Each structure stands twice: as C-alpha cells, then as structure tokens.
C-alpha cells in the first residue's frame, strides 16, 4: 500500500500526458490509424480507461478517486459506518433530508482511497485530503480527468507499429485497467492502432459499433457535451431549490385547455420548505385549512419540479412533473412534461 506522499507525483503524471506531439509524431500521422503515445487517441483511451471514482461523489466529493470501505464518517452531524456499498443509502438519506442546507461529510482518518490510475493510497488527515481534492481539480482543469461517459467493451486488440509504420505485433487487452496500464506505459518509439471495429456504450445507452478513430472521437465529444449539460442542469436545480425555499409564491398563471385558471388560486400563497414539504395558505379566509403537499427538484438535461398536493381538488390539478422552462428570483415558468399546452407560472411575492 502506497502512502500519501506519492500522491502529487501520481497526479502530475496526468498533467504531463497530453503534451504537444513532437516531430516524430507528425511523421507517423501519414497513417491516420497509427497513433503515438502523445496522440489524441492515446489520451482518449487512457482517460476512458481510468478508474471511475465518480460513483461515490456524494460521499467524498471527488470524481478522481473513491473511498475504500469500510469507513466511518460524520454526515451532517450524524455518525455512520459504511461497510458495503448498500450502506451508501444511509448517507444519501441524511443528505436528502433538507434541500438548501450546507451538507458536510467528515471522515475519521486515516482512510484509503483508490485513484484514477488504480493506485491505492492512505490519507492520514484532512490536510492530505484537501491536497487530494486540489490535485483532482487540477486534472479536471487540464482536461485530463477520467472520461466516464464512454465504456469500451472488452476484449480489444491493439496493433503495434515501429517508427517506419511497419506492424510489429498485437496486444489483446481484457479490461479498463489493462488498457490504462498499456497506454500509460507506451514509449515514444512505439505506435499503435485500434483494431476496429470496437463496441462501446455511450452515456449508458445501448451499445454501438465504432469503426474508426474519427467515430471514437465524435462519440467522446458528444458524451462529454452531454455530461456538461447534465452538470449545468444540476447546478440550475440547486439554484432553483434555494429560490423556492427562500421565497413565498403565488400562482400568476395556470393555463390548461387554453384557459388561464389562476383566479382559483388568487387567495393563496405557496411556501416551499427545505424538508421538501409545501404548504398553500389562504390569506384572505383564514378559516380555510391549509393545503399540504410535497415537492421535488430533479435534473437530467433539463430541470424538473414535481408537485404533489393532497386533500384539495383544486390544488391537485397542479400535481405534475413540470419542466422548468425558465426561472429567476422573481418568476418560475413551468411546462407540463406530458402536455406542452399546460403551463404554470409562479411569482414571488
């Protein structure tokens, strides 16, 4: 088991990987299917083969590594011990209790983490952990972090060439780790080509056949663009949650079957709480019972607001999963995810 003092060196290797090609690389590019250790294809393959540490980001906040279990942590003031991945739900439940609070996860050190290069290191304290987070951010800023949206199906075959573009052999690789190790150890005098076709899964969709480096690059570009859109939507969902919880709203318009029925809600204010409950209060006739319900903000490529009221037929008409078409501090515009003609606008009082 390596200790943390090697961590900076390990991540610096990421930052050096995608340096500019030298003259020898330019010569070999006469064969478009033959690539050097510094080629874009080599970088794509290495990054797509890195260990994917993003599955426990809710716990460690670092996509470049994952925390090896068992581990004990204090989550929003509650101590939990995670022995297996089934215990992740304990953390998720605690983090999801409130929407706009400042979540915190404090580990009991030392902990062991696995890095993108499959190396395991021991992190002894919070200072070393901060160092790990900074190294991960540096890799992301340098666009040298793992590509998690494309999964290559194994085995694959790598054809090897010398400086004269003459084939010298082939290598069969059986796993992501084998592919990562091969690309990481590729020397400057060896050139390679993928033996196409290969099969890959992009963004968790059905498997597709790729027949060239160009197709591989196109799929990576598309899936990274989709990831960026998902990240933007997640950030927007967080912003929307803050606006909902911090404000008090009224229904400005509710259009269904071409008619605006907002007048039916004119006497009510709507208050969203950070425990995912929502209450509609009649401010004109206080003898009328409050209407209670729940809400949820979620994101995919878009942001969605789900409303669920009960025991009031008028407010139950609002029960829907709404796509958020736009929002600001003052107005939230929604469109039914099942019927684009049904829209709802909430205005902050």
Q: For residues 299 and 224, state if they share a domain.
A: no
Distance of CA 46 to the CA centre of its chain: 19
Instruction: Tell the burial category of 311 from Cβ atoms under 10 Å away from its Cβ (0-12, 13-18, 19+).
Output: exposed
The answer on pLDDT for 21 being more than 60 is no
d(CA 190, CA 160): 7
* CATH number where 342 lies: 2.40.128.270
Q: How far is CA 31 from CA 27, 113, 188, 207, in A?
A: 9, 41, 17, 28
Regarding whether 137 and 39 lie in a shared domain, the answer is: yes
Rounded to whole angstroms, the Cα distance separating 148 from 102 reads 27
Q: Exposed, middle or buried by CB within 10 Å (0-12, 13-18, 19+), for 13?
A: exposed
Q: What is the pLDDT of residues 81-104, one digit of tens each?
A: 999 999 999 999 999 888 767 899
Over the stretch 42-82, which tens digit does the pLDDT of each residue have? 999 999 999 999 999 999 999 999 999 999 999 999 999 99
Q: Report, as an integer, the average pLDDT of 158-170.
A: 92
Q: Are 329 and 236 in contact (CB under 8 A)?
A: no
How many domains does the chain fold into?
A: 2
First to last CA, the chain: 58
Q: Coil, strand or helix: which one is 97?
A: coil
- Using one digit for the tens of pLDDT, what is the confidence trace for 114-147? 999 999 999 999 999 999 999 998 888 777 789 9
Q: Provide the 3-class DSSP secondary structure of residue 307.
A: strand
Choice between 16 and 328, residue whose per-residue pLDDT is larger = 328
Cα 235 from chain centroid (whole Å)? 11
pTM reported for the whole predicted model: 0.81
If pLDDT is split at 50, 70 and 90, which confidence band does 6 have? very low
**Average pLDDT value over all residues in the chain:** 90
In a domain? residue 49 = yes
Least confident residue range of 2-6, 242-246, 316-320: 2-6
Asked if 216 and 287 sit in the same domain, the reply is: no
pLDDT exceeds cutoff 70 at 14: no
CB-based contact 141:18 (threshold 8 Å): no
At residue 189 the predicted structure's pLDDT band, cuts being 50, 70 and 90, is: confident
241 found inside a domain: no
Same domain, 305 and 225: no
CB atoms within 10 A of CB 230: 16
Residue 31's pLDDT band, with cuts at 50, 70 and 90, is low
Q: Which of 187, 211, 235 is the last residue of a domain?
A: 235
Is 226 found in the same domain as 258?
A: no
Average pLDDT on 314-332 reads: 98
Provide Rg for the chain, Cα atoms.
Answer: 26
pLDDT band at 165 (very low <50, low <70, confident <90, very high): confident
Do residues 52 and 98 both lie within one domain? Answer: yes
Question: Which residue range(s) make up the domain with 79?
Answer: 2-235
Residue 60 within a domain: yes
**34 lies in the same domain as 84:** yes
* Residues 221 and 283 reside in one and the same domain: no
Residues 38 and 119 in one domain: yes
- Which of 235, 266, 297 lies at the terminal end of a domain, its last residue? 235
10: pLDDT strictly greater than 70: no
Answer yes or no: are the C-beta atoms of 341 and 291 closer than 8 Å: no
Structural domain includes residue 42: yes
The Cα 256–Cα 334 span in angstroms is 12
Verify that 50 and 100 share a domain, yes or no: yes
Average pLDDT of the segment spanning 273-295: 96
The string of pLDDT tens digits covering residues 105-116 is 999 999 999 999
Query: Is pLDDT of 37 > 60?
Result: yes
In 10 A of CB 124, how many CB atoms?
Answer: 13
Please report which helix (H) or strand (E) contains residue 303, including its range: strand 303-309
Scan for tokens 């990421």, then name that residue. Answer: 14
- Residue 240 within a domain: no
For residues 103 and 252, state if they share a domain.
no
């Amino acid at each position: 088991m390596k200790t943390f003092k090697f961590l900076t060196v390990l991540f610096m290797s990421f930052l050096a990987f995608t340096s500019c090609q030298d003259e020898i690389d330019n010569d070999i590019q006469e064969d478009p299917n033959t690539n050097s250790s510094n080629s874009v294809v080599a970088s794509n393959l290495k990054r797509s083969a890195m260990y994917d540490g993003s599955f426990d980001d809710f716990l460690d906040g670092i996509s470049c590594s994952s925390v090896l279990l068992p581990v004990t942590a204090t989550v929003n003031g509650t101590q939990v011990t995670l022995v297996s991945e089934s215990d992740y739900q304990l953390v998720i439940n605690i983090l999801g209790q409130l929407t706009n609070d400042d979540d915190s996860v404090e580990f009991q050190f030392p902990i062991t983490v696995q890095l993108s290069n499959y190396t395991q290191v021991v992190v002894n304290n919070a200072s070393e952990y901060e160092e790990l987070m900074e190294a991960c951010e540096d890799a992301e800023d340098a666009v040298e972090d793992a590509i998690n949206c494309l999964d290559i199906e194994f085995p694959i075959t790598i054809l090897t060439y010398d400086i004269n573009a003459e084939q010298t052999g082939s290598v069969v690789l059986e796993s992501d780790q084998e592919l990562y190790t091969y690309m990481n150890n590729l020397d400057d005098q060896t050139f390679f080509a993928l033996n196409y076709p290969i099969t890959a899964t992009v963004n968790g969709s059905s498997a597709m056949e790729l027949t060239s480096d160009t197709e591989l690059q196109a799929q990576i570009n598309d899936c990274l663009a989709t990831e960026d859109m998902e990240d933007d939507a997640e950030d927007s969902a967080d912003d929307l949650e803050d606006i909902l919880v911090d404000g008090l709203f009224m229904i400005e318009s509710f259009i269904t079957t071409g008619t605006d029925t907002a007048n039916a809600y004119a006497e009510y204010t709507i208050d969203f709480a950070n425990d995912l409950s929502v209450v509609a209060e009649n401010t004109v006739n206080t003898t009328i019972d409050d209407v209670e319900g729940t809400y949820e903000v979620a994101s995919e490529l878009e942001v969605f607001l789900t409303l669920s009221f009960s025991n009031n037929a008028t407010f139950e008409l609002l029960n829907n999963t709404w796509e958020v078409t736009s929002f600001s501090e003052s107005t939230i515009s929604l469109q039914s995810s099942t019927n684009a003609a049904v829209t709802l606008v909430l205005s902050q009082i």
